[in-house]
Structure 1
Amino acid sequence: MHYDVFNGDADGIIALLQLRLATPKDSLLITGVKRDIGLLKQVDVNKATAVTVLDISLEKNNQALQALINNQVDVFYVDHHRTGDIPKSNKLTTLLNTDANTCTSLLVNDLLKGQYSYWAIAAAFGDNMHASASDLAQKVGLSERQKDQLNELGTYINYNGYGQELSDLHFHPAALYQSLLEYPDPFVLINQENSIFSQLKAAYLADMAKARTADVLSDNDIVKTIVLEDAAWSRRVSGVFGNDLANQAPDKAHIVITLNPIEVDLQSKNKIQNEQSYTLSLRAPLNNKQGAGDICAQFPTGGGRAAAAGVNALPKGRLVEFIKQVESYYRH
């Protein structure tokens, strides 16, 4: 059994899309909401013969990766997030690059020698790597209109990946990936009436309109913090809204926070968590794309990459501490 394990955002989905358009393969798909990155543990080590892993931090999946290697399973791992210690084994093949200006789909694009570069451009835009996406778009000769269309496509696919649970999303990431497989040329999808593209566009625009009226908790020359309400639309829009803010003010860091609901055990009716928490998205200044992952990793449930990171459950009482950490980091 071959497993394809991939992040449910634009970069993860499109990285796999490129690979399987180039080399079709029957596989079991493992994915989830964007923030569900501990995916590798879902692979059955006794059934797996080979595993492809895309766009999830090796550091966060090291133990599950080691178990697969120990069981003589071949693993191909492509990613741009924090790696931690990389196991040394002839069962592991890696394509890892933590540079702030690359993403998993761009790494796959290089591997495939640009075979599906239009899709890679969409993914880079979706991961808010506008400079890298624009450079590749220019290299392959796209018009400004085509570039803008791929920017939209990547943004909408990325938007679909955000949520606390799969029910928050418009499309399950695995189903979205399988639908996109029908479109080797993304412009066919973009120009098709009533397509997934147009459905996601309408939903994105509606959610973003709400986000732009959200409360500003704090704002100075270094960092701006926005608070979204506890609602499905907030969880869907949190990451792409952070990207949008970052593009508007590239010298400033941005924090977007969403209040998490109190978890309750349905049988005992008792609260599982004692303190309410925030889901938090941090975007480094676009003109200083470093530090976001390191800052978030200092807090439990936090992690990410240099330019964009987050914390899944930041205790409400530690929010001020977090904002001060961000201010301190980017002040220098």
Structure 2
Amino acid sequence: MQYFDVCNGDADGLFALHQLRLATPRNAVLITGPKRDNALLARVTASPGDHVTALDLSFDANRAAVLALLARGVTIDYIDHHVARELPRHPLLHTDIDTASDVCTSVLVDRRLRGRYRAWAVAATFGDNLPGAAHRLAQLAGIDPDDEATLRELGENVNYAGYGDSIGDLLIEPAALYTLLEPYAQPLDFAGACPLLATLGQARREDLTLACAQRPAATSAGIEVFTLPGERWARRVRGAFANQLALAAPQRAHAVLTPTAEGYWTVSVRAPLATAFGADSFCRRFGGAGRAGAAGIGRLPYVAFDAFVAAFHQAYEMSA
């Protein structure tokens, strides 16, 4: 039997996998990629009798690949927090999908492991911009405020490292980052021993400073929309900037767009943190996906920008 570990390349995906492998070590083929690269199960070259663990990946984006693997006789353990419509029933498919707004995949793994490696879940939950849920986990684990702040910095830096429209935008590939963290049972030890994390933190803050200098393209009581330039720093910081905006104005919905050379916008959307509803369904209207609190659009045509802003305002004006 061969094992495959397939996960999103952000803090939630990497730390969810790490918790599982600390509890159950396996010699597995790792498949991951930038945060936007969700359709990863199509890369799995499994044979009958093999086992796939999928983490923090939209089921809907991987549905065809999942069905093909099941037909091939591959067992799949699917743990995720994105909206999934009409999950298939199959004896080889085991799903743990919870779309609650205060849940991420690392929280689901933490539940499965009964809090055995909870500090990793705390860092992941901060990275996924769920500070309230992360703080509650930290309190359950008895983590003191200074260590909680370190875990927050770790989660936010690793999450930032996964953003970009291609591997070339990233400061480190997610698979390489996982290799660096893999030897550490405790995230505080990893945070103290890995100099790359300080580099990521400095780059994140520099990129956020550049983003904060931009003026909004559209603003109202209920929404704020930013367009960033078509540069690597902007593509890297798009998600972190959207998270920062959401934290600063929890009653508003936010969208951050970066252009591509092919004539499209890449979009990160955050629902108001105070209510965290509808980001996934809104983005699906434009070919995107995600979850209720945070979602995205990979290819919004330039010419659809005005229609996007109008629809965004209409979707969230009631939250103002």
Whether the TM-score (by the shorter chain) exceeds 0.5 is: yes
1:155 aligns to 2:156 (yes or no): yes
Q: Which residue of 1 aligns with 2:295?
A: 309
Q: Does the 8 A contact of 1:190 with 1:197 survive in 2?
A: yes
Q: Does the 8 A contact of 1:189 with 1:195 survive in 2?
A: no
Q: Which residue of 2 aligns with 1:4?
A: 5
Q: Which residue of 2 aligns with 1:213?
A: 213
Name the SS for the 1:28 alignment partner: strand
What TM-score do you get using the length of structure 1 for normalisation? 0.93
Aligned alpha-carbon RMSD (Å): 1.2
Residues 124 and 221 of structure 1: is their aligned pair in 2 closer, same or farther, counting only changes over 3 Å? same
Give the distance between the partners of 2:49 and 2:43, measured in 1 at CA: 11
Q: Which residue of 2 aligns with 1:282?
A: 269
Amino-acid identity (%): 40
Show the 5 A alignment for 1:5-20: 5-20=6-21
Q: Does the 8 A contact of 2:16 with 2:105 survive in 1?
A: yes
1:53 aligns to 2:54 (yes or no): yes
Q: Which residue of 2 aligns with 1:331?
A: 317
Give the distance between the partners of 2:60 and 2:72, measured in 1 at CA: 19
Deviations 1:276-307 (CA, angstroms, capped at 9, x unpaired)? 1111110000001010010001112x110000
Greater share of residues in helix: 2
**AA paired with 1:197?**
L
Pairwise CA distance, 1:48: 6.9
Give the distance between the partners of 2:48 and 2:33, measured in 1 at CA: 21
Q: Which residue of 1 aligns with 2:280?
A: 293
Give the distance between the partners of 1:136 and 1:45, measured in 2 at CA: 36
Name the SS for the 1:214 alignment partner: coil
Show the 5 A alignment for 1:30-109: 30-46=31-47, 49-109=50-110
Q: Which residue of 2 aligns with 1:185?
A: 186
Give the distance between the partners of 1:134 and 1:60, measured in 2 at CA: 31
Name the SS for the 2:34 alignment partner: coil
Structure 2: give runs of 5+ residues left out of the alignment: none
Q: Which residue of 2 aligns with 1:120?
A: 121
**AA paired with 2:314?**
S
Pairwise CA distance, 1:47: 6.9
Give the distance between the partners of 2:75 and 2:170, measured in 1 at CA: 32
Pairwise CA distance, 1:142: 1.4
Q: What number of residue pairs does the alignment pair up?
A: 317
Give the distance between the partners of 2:304 and 2:285, measured in 1 at CA: 12
What TM-score do you get using the length of structure 2 for normalisation? 0.97
Name the SS for the 1:215 alignment partner: coil
Residues 170 and 95 of structure 1: is their aligned pair in 2 closer, same or farther, counting only changes over 3 Å? same
Structure 1: give runs of 5+ residues left out of the alignment: 263-275
Give the distance between the partners of 1:311 and 1:286, measured in 2 at CA: 19
Give the distance between the partners of 1:247 and 1:70, measured in 2 at CA: 44
Give the distance between the partners of 2:257 and 2:280, measured in 1 at CA: 16
Q: Does the 8 A contact of 2:49 with 2:74 survive in 1?
A: yes
Deviations 1:261-285 (CA, angstroms, capped at 9, x unpaired)? 13xxxxxxxxxxxxx1111110000
